[in-house]
Structure 1
Amino acid sequence: MVQKIIELSLRNRYIVLLVAAGLLVWGISAVSKNPIDAIPDLSENQVIVYTEWMGRGPQIIEDQITYPLVSNLQGVPRVSNIRATSMFGMSFIYIIFEDDVDIYWARTRVLERLNYAQRLLPEDVTPALGPDGTGVGHIFWYHFKAPRMDLGEQRALQDWYVKFALQTVPGVAEVASFGGFEKQYQIVVDPVKLQYYNISLMDVMNKVRANNNDVGGSKFEMTDMAYIIRGLGYIKNKEDVENIALSSNNGIPVRVRDIGSVQMGGDLRLGIFDVDGEGEVVGGIVVMRYGENADKVINDVKTKMKEVEKGLPAGVTFETSYDRSTLIEAAIDNIKFKLIEEIIAVALIVIIFLFHWRSALSIIIQIPITIAISFILLNAFGLSSNIMSLTGIALAIGVIVDNGIIMSENAYRNLSVWQNQNKSPKNSDEK
């Protein structure tokens, strides 16, 4: 069988060369399209459901949120396992699907079941799906260098400007903020004054919530003009909160400032982000979407950050905390160096031992063609390039050229035997 394939190839050598050239071009195209990352993605095929109910303890979260959701999500098709954890103010549920399940099909099925399970949860509690990323999706971390801004202002800049801009980059699933303080209006209530004015704490909460809202008042027509009427009620500063009316006492309105004080503060924090022991900073974590090219996404994020940096306040710049592209580029440079090194070594060895440059060329050509074909197969099976696969290719280069060297040496040996057999009768006749 092998002999027939060799004979067929020798008779149609130009077709073989044409096919090899086509595979090389196809492989070069596959290299540019193949997703590349630093580490292989061995994470499970999962969908994350998280629910916030701030101020509640882990046991309440477990009983009223985690358990009802897990009980209803168990009926989702093609689920292999469900894990859950409850903590202060938050619930996380990890739905593990079978490996061959499409991630977006899985997210759709989970979302359908969550719509049904919503009625089992407490009022104003809404579960949400986590980003469509994997366990190794944290590809880029950054933080601000802003010596003249406090942590609250930096966090507001991150949440309301930088985050929204970076989330528009193709391939980015989420930009998670970390560090600093999330600004909020805090009302410090005096219980004695509440008792004096006969106002409950729930009344304060409901009045403040109701007054932080714009309302519509239909349309008013006068002569040839129509005016849209609306009531402006959004809170814009601390004084707006202080002036909210809670009730009346002998015809005099009782406002928030009468039962306590209003201050600007930060939300409850469960941790901080420190850089090199020099102090706390504010920044974000870029999470890559499932199946994207990590190197391309990181480069696109860096390009977007240069545009965003133009709109930052004076003295504020970006600093990189973690950049996976450095490891990716190091892996690519290593495979390039090993490829050139192997080509030179093989060429020298073949030329020295066979002393024939055409034989060396036929062996060297196998290296780029074989590597190009390997990337075609990686794309066909949906696999990405990473340190493990690129290292395997680098180690396999020696195996790639082995058969070429063996075939060349065997051809020389057979030619030598054939020549000796043809020369022997001639020499005997001359004698």
Structure 2
Amino acid sequence: MVVVEEADSGSEVAAQVTPGRVLLISAGASHSVVLLTGNVICSWGRGEDGQLGHGDAEDRLFPTQLNALDGYEVVSVVCGADHSIAYSDSRLEIYSWGWGDFGRLGHGNSSDLFTPQPIKALQGLRIKQIACGDSHCLAVTMEGEVQSWGRNQNGQLGLGHSEDSLLPQKIEAFQGLSIKMVAAGAEHTAAITDDGELFGWGWGRYGNLGLGDRNDRLIPEKVSCVNGEKMVLVACGWRHTISVSASGGLYTYGWSKYGQLGHGDFEDHLVPHKLEALSDSFISQISGGWRHTMALTSDGKLYGWGWNKFGQVGAGDNADHCAPVHIKFPNDQKVINVSCGWRHTLAISDQQNLFSWGRGTNGQLGHGESVDLNVPKIVEVLSVDGFSGQHIRSSNIDPSSGKSWVSPSERYALVPHEVAQGNSAVSGNGDPNDASVPQNDVKRMRV
């Protein structure tokens, strides 16, 4: 429960947390969003493109309540790279906000939104799950149908062509199949059916579709090389894919330059490859970051591996790890939920504590500072074990009284040591494929 206190002045007020339990977490490129008991949403981190939903473009260093959705009974929140999505079950509405280029917000245009707005094309649908990639989104209905929208230059929408879609469209290729869940990467997508079949489509240069080659696919194609096991979970990193079988086995495939597949080497895999290092564990949850991976076991142990320049693996160092590392938490707390952002990670413990680590330059860790951390640190204001009397900031924006949208901005920034060239960015290590992004997406390439 969050009780709002009276403010002296300004657009934000302080609210006393008595502490609400964190139910859901989601990490974007440089921002974080959580859902608390009482249907309260908090967001923090980078806000340049409106992805925090507070009505402005300011960064937030602490968790801030998103007032615009108060009372909307939101049951799900998901981060894309620089946009966010929430779903209200009682209202049967999906809301989106943030960076709007390529139609990733689903409103029929490419405008940025600084406060949540309903996606009218999806109004009335009963939604089972939502997934956001870098520039595209998907929603699975309770009937097992899939709607997709946004960037589609490599066919990641699964619509049979490579034209962007400013509005949600049904993936007709799944006719006759019931989809259980979907996952979205930078430019590729994966799905699992209720029968445990695994599909991949979109950009496949690193084998991240699991189809045995490096070709793109414009429509979903079934992945056959999974040892006959049925799949129950799937997640996408930027250019790699993770899946879990009904027996709790973990499979990874795709790009592995930073060890993000976890097989003890840096070799790409074009088909799902079982992660033997965790073969004695039953995997209950997975999450893929830009170049790192997290896996949670049924007994509450968290493992991480891959790119670790900013400490996002959480192992206490900044070295890349090509095999799973057990991540330690204070008092041996067990983990019940994990989410990877591009360069940071969030986790919830069984003692109702929220932890964050990794890149913190925009305040996405929620600790009130802009520093990186290579071990999990408790987000005090959203944790039972936080200091008593902690206050959470609360945006006080009336969406009807101000401008909620702007046309696509020209705020572009290159990663240091990277130079945009045509449709790619060449990194300082000389690998033109290391940070390849579509033209006009260069502003997304930040460290």
**TM-score bin (small chain):** under 0.3
Q: Which has the higher contact order (CA 8 A, sep 6+)?
A: 1
Give the TM-score taking structure 2 as reference length.
0.20
Structure with bigger gyration radius: 1
Higher helix fraction (1 or 2): 1
Give the TM-score taking structure 1 as reference length.
0.20
